[in-house]
Structure 1
Amino acid sequence: MQLLKLSNSIDIKKYLIDLSVDSGGIQILSSKAKTHIIYIKDLHVGGANILKQDALSIGADLAVPRGTVVAKTPFVDCMLIVTTKQLQTLSRKELAQPFGLKDVAKKLKDILMAKKPSNVQIMGVINANSNSFFSDSRFMGNRAVDTIEKMIEDGADIIDIGGVSSAPNSPLVDKDEELRRVKPILDAIKQNGLYEKVKFSIDSYEPLVVSYALESGFRIVNDITGLANDEICKLCASYDATAVIMHMQNSPQNMQENPKYEDIISEIYSFFQSKLEKADAFGIKDTLLDVGIGFGKTLEHNLVLVKHLEHYLTLQKPLLVGASRKSMIDKISSSLPQDRLGGTLALHLEAMKNGASILRVHDVKEHTQALSVQKALDNISIKG
């Protein structure tokens, strides 16, 4: 007899199939294998005591502050520790309970419906300007075509092209100048038939530039202002383009001047809800969500967002993460932009593990390799 301690990160369904477990058993057992940790804020103390007992009755648990049982305070924060199977039971059971537990039940159901992507796409970055923080991503005119073709060869699924730096304290650029910068690249892409090989995204919030890109064949609008301009919404709807809704506190010119949040995870969630409603009202069919790493956030804010990215999957939209070579890495391990590849890969692999569908990167080849290795690890079986 032999006993093996397996990793908690295995694809449990694959292992159960290898064991020749019947299909019904696979579904039941896999729902018992995953543990969810759910933080609940400001729950009525009566609801906390009911949820605690209901959780215990099915083998789950609710961590509550001391004094909850005697209602020391009217509202408490608590933490539910539960398997998928138990979560299914609680999401039904709490619908009949008072003290705000009906709302808790609905949110538990949202968590059950949230799914991590089975495939992660790589978005390569091309900057048509001279002041992007990472000099190796700067390309002007026809030179960009060679780089785009190399990115495609290296495994890029999307190429994101912008003419204005959005780094902290970057200068404002006139719309005509922005178009002048990107136009030669957009024209060259069309002339070389590159639309047939990869999807293209325009990194802009200027209607003049976005309109030209969409007319040229671009199908994604990467808007760092989060659809603040109604004209961008109209363009996305008119061209049936995918809109990337990114969160940014303030503007690139002042976003890093002491950014503050009461509750960054919840505030960005509310921001996304509002912007998704706006997108829907304008008739935008496809949206991506980007928490905006480095856009009005401290190091701690950025790390929290990457670590708890899975929370935003309940919005039922693909998540884009772009932490490539950003200065947050320097705050952890002193480095210049050209030396931040290792930190970038660590952040992006964590983001992928937590639900990212698209990684916006400067180093396509290295990310393709990292994702391939991660996929091999995820798919490995003890049977070989």
Structure 2
Amino acid sequence: MLITQSAGKFLKRKSSLQIGDDQIDLSIPVVMGIVNVTPDSFYDGGKMEDEANMLKAVETMIADGVTIVDVGAVSTRPGADSVSTKEELARLLPAVQAIRKEFPDVALSVDTFRSWVAVRVIDEVGAIIVNDISGGTLDSKMFETVGRLQVPYILSHIKGTPQTMQDDPYYDDIIKDISSYFAEKVKRLTKLGVQDVVIDPGFGFGKTLDHNYELLNRLDSFKVFQLPVMAGLSRKSMIWQALDIEAKDALNGTSVANTMALLGGADILRVHDVKEAVEAVKIFCEIKASIK
């Protein structure tokens, strides 16, 4: 297939991420903990807006084995209201500054689709990972910015915007379509000097329930890119809708989905519940070690 033949030429298989002077080893899958400093988070209901609550949550994540803490200040759930750059920074900067001061050794990621936000955060706290749910579609300067800043970039797939992405999404072939999307964007990022790219198929971002499970079942299709893969499945509607429960009750389903993602080649699990995800990684590693 043309896509698979050409995609592997972009970069050699990456088994680490370079964040400033620090390196994250991805030879064993790692866990990214979610910190949403928004008033309308679907999971924690805005509890992280309080600095003391947020720092306590990060402390627990670190104790539970988190490798990366991902901080976001704009809700990207389906139909979420848009937020200005000014408001995003007003929420985000105090949070990342507090985390960096209290936990200077933890790797930080910022969940933003705005290049200017990434610049401001890096100016304040140093090198971070930029986690862009839009794959550069919502800010034309994002790719050149991360190339100039020389920071890792999480390239996510999305169809539409958070406001429109669930309006009857359609694919001719979801794996081929998303692979074409990644092929074109990885090529652009490489030409702009981005050294560390992680691909995220974007579970829930412009996908039906069936689309999401086909993606999960065929996650190993993206190994052809020779790049780390992130899976963000935590308590998403694809889990609680399938189980006919609410997001607050979807931990067990999340653990099952995370395990399937690990079996499909995921290198990073982005989660709300760090302890359970770390345990899933440990079990996966035991299974992998048993294969002779």
TM-score by length of structure 1 reads 0.67
Q: Mapping of 1:142-291 within 5 angstroms?
A: 142-143=51-52, 144-192=54-102, 194-196=103-105, 198-215=106-123, 216-228=125-137, 229-291=139-201
**Contact 1:128 / 1:181 at 8 angstroms: preserved in 2?**
yes
Question: Structure 1, residues 117-167: CA drift from partner, whole Å, max 9, x if none?
Answer: 741010000000011111267402522122112111111010000001000
* Distance change in 2, residues 1:180/1:278 (3 Å): same
Q: Match of 1:82? A: none
Q: Match of 2:20? A: none
Q: 2:33 aligns with which of 115, 124, 143?
A: 124
Shift of 1:106: 5.0
CA distance in 1, matches of 2:290, 2:4: 36
Q: Match of 1:379? A: 289
**Contact 1:221 / 1:241 at 8 angstroms: preserved in 2?**
yes
Shift of 1:104: 10
Q: Match of 2:44? A: 135
* One-letter amino acid of the structure 1 residue matched with residue 231 of structure 2: V
* One-letter amino acid of the structure 2 residue matched with residue 201 of structure 1: S
Query: What's the secondary structure of 2:213's corresponding residue?
Result: helix
- Count of residues in correspondence between the two structures: 276
Query: What's the secondary structure of 1:169's corresponding residue?
Result: coil
**Contact 2:155 / 2:198 at 8 angstroms: preserved in 1?**
yes
CA distance in 2, matches of 1:351, 1:345: 10
CA distance in 1, matches of 2:256, 2:109: 25
CA distance in 2, matches of 1:119, 1:344: 20
Q: Percent identity, aligned pairs only? A: 33
TM-score by length of structure 2 reads 0.88
**Contact 2:79 / 2:164 at 8 angstroms: preserved in 1?**
yes
List alignment gaps of at least 5 residues for structure 1.
Answer: 1-39, 41-102
* One-letter amino acid of the structure 2 residue matched with residue 120 of structure 1: P
* Distance change in 2, residues 1:191/1:156 (3 Å): same
* Distance change in 2, residues 1:296/1:106 (3 Å): closer
State the superposition RMSD in angstroms: 2.4
Are 2:246 and 1:311 equivalent residues in the alignment? no
Query: What's the secondary structure of 2:186's corresponding residue?
Result: helix
Q: Mapping of 1:297-308 within 5 angstroms?
A: 297-308=207-218
Q: Mapping of 1:316-355 within 5 angstroms?
A: 316-355=226-265
CA distance in 1, matches of 2:162, 2:80: 6
Query: What's the secondary structure of 1:288's corresponding residue?
Result: strand
CA distance in 2, matches of 1:105, 1:293: 21
**Contact 2:14 / 2:228 at 8 angstroms: preserved in 1?**
no
CA distance in 2, matches of 1:381, 1:277: 35
